[in-house]
Amino acid sequence: MSSQLSVTPLHTWHKEHGARMAEFAGYDMPIQYTSIVAEHQATRQAAGVFDISHMGRLRFDGGRADQLLDHLLTRRVVDMQTGQVRYSLVCNEEAGILDDVLVSCLESPSGKNYFLLVVNASNRAKIVRWLQPHLADYPDVEFHDVTDSTAMIAVQGPKALEICKPLLPTSALSLGYYRAKVTEQMSKPCIVSRTGYTGEDGLELIVKAEDANRVWENIMLAGRNLGVQAVGLAARDTLRLEAGMPLYGHELDESIDLYQAGLGFACNLKDRTFIGSEVLALKSKAELKTKRIGLVLEGRRAARQGADVLDSDGRVVGQVTSGSFSPTMDKPIAMAFVDAAAANPEIALDVDIRGTKVSASIVSLPFYKRTESI
């Protein structure tokens, strides 16, 4: 293992519990503890616990923090209420996607509002650099990268809230979807957010780095009779793929605009300007040339990133961006970008899997949608 790799506060726990570790975005991360399918199914049927401390956590304090972020994000920030969370994109001037983020408007225990931006681990350094000139324009905004001083744990699945019940105050457990709150776990500060990246209901917790192991152990203990399972990054990827959620570096990058990615909902153009808004305003009216689609493949072989998508004449009409065997559907699935004309379920498509043509059908995303509890 390379000595330059960063580790999360839970690194020792992972190693002591038999995790296979590998580098991801500069971190030595748990890929799987048991089997990917077992961890995937545990999350779909009971609950999975994920160390996502590698994700970047950026805090903005001060009166005009909302205006600064409103200038940087495709989603409107200035009208956010305390406790709201929004999915947004960060674009460059050409509307290329720099990152996809969650922005939360939180109230500190002292009663002050602040904003928290959760960014992809792989983009954290880029986003922090991108922020610098804008921070200079808003000298009253205090910026802190709190990634290293905190840890982030996701509890996801139909039993996630039940497991967290003995651990968190009622006010945190009763949060609505895409709501967040600064609260406490055993008298220690904890941000609870009703968000996730698995297609399941659940919570994401941010705690101080020194409290991470205690919180993690508490969750594992509280869930031991409810089927809780530590889940690595491999199953996190199959879960998010089934949920049709984009992953930066696969469905998103600087060459893709948010309309192609099917993320028009995450862009508010009306009565505001932000970085990239001029180009996005034009793109919002133009016809899409390429579209993000979901594919279900015949057979058992998965198409991986970069595999060509072909029409019935064998013409390349696009590429797979993410593909895996789906444990829930027991079939190979993929997301792909294809020419708009080919993004038609009536059209027969093939995927070229290392030289072999495999039939694929277009299905609407997401592949998997949980049944809502009442």
Partner 1 sequence: MSISPEQLRYLESHEWAYVSDQAAGVVTIGISAFAVEQLTDLVFMALPKVGQEVSAGAEFGEVESVKAVSPMYSPVSGTVVEVNSGLVDRLESLNVDPYNDGWIMKVKMSDSSDLAGLLDWVSYKHQCDHA
Binding site for partner 1 (CB under 8 A): 31-32, 35-37, 234, 238, 299-302, 304, 324-325, 327, 332, 354
Residue 304: other Cβ atoms inside 10 A: 16
What are the backbone dihedrals phi and psi of residue 42, each rounded to the nearest 5 degrees, phi first?
A: -60, -40
Nearest-approach distance from CB 53 to partner 1, in angstroms? 22
Nearest-approach distance from CB 363 to partner 1, in angstroms? 19
Nearest-approach distance from CB 325 to partner 1, in angstroms? 5
If the CB atoms of residues 237 and 257 are measured against partner 1, the closer one turns out to be: 237
Query: d(Cα 262, Cα 91) in Å, to the nearest integer?
Result: 15
If the CB atoms of residues 1 and 286 are measured against partner 1, the closer one turns out to be: 1
Q: Are strands 290-297 and 331-339 parallel, antiparallel or unpaired?
A: antiparallel
If the CB atoms of residues 31 and 69 are measured against partner 1, the closer one turns out to be: 31
Nearest-approach distance from CB 301 to partner 1, in angstroms? 5
Nearest-approach distance from CB 237 to partner 1, in angstroms? 8
If the CB atoms of residues 7 and 37 are measured against partner 1, the closer one turns out to be: 37
Task: Report helix, strand or coil for 359.
Answer: strand
**Residue 357 to residues 115, 344, 350, 374: CA-CA distances in angstroms?**
48, 19, 6, 44
Q: What is the CA radius of gyration of the chain?
A: 21
Cis preceding-peptide flag for 109 (omega within 30 of 0): no
Q: Are strands 202-208 and 113-119 parallel, antiparallel or unpaired?
A: unpaired
If the CB atoms of residues 34 and 67 are measured against partner 1, the closer one turns out to be: 34
What six digits make up the tokens of 185? Answer: 């776990």
Contacts of 351 (CB under 8 A, 6+ apart): 295, 297, 303, 307, 308, 309, 310, 320, 334, 336, 357, 358, 360
If the CB atoms of residues 150 and 328 are measured against partner 1, the closer one turns out to be: 328
If the CB atoms of residues 223 and 323 are measured against partner 1, the closer one turns out to be: 323
Nearest-approach distance from CB 293 to partner 1, in angstroms? 22
Nearest-approach distance from CB 41 to partner 1, in angstroms? 11
Q: Are strands 188-193 and 20-24 parallel, antiparallel or unpaired?
A: unpaired
Q: Are strands 150-156 and 202-208 parallel, antiparallel or unpaired?
A: antiparallel
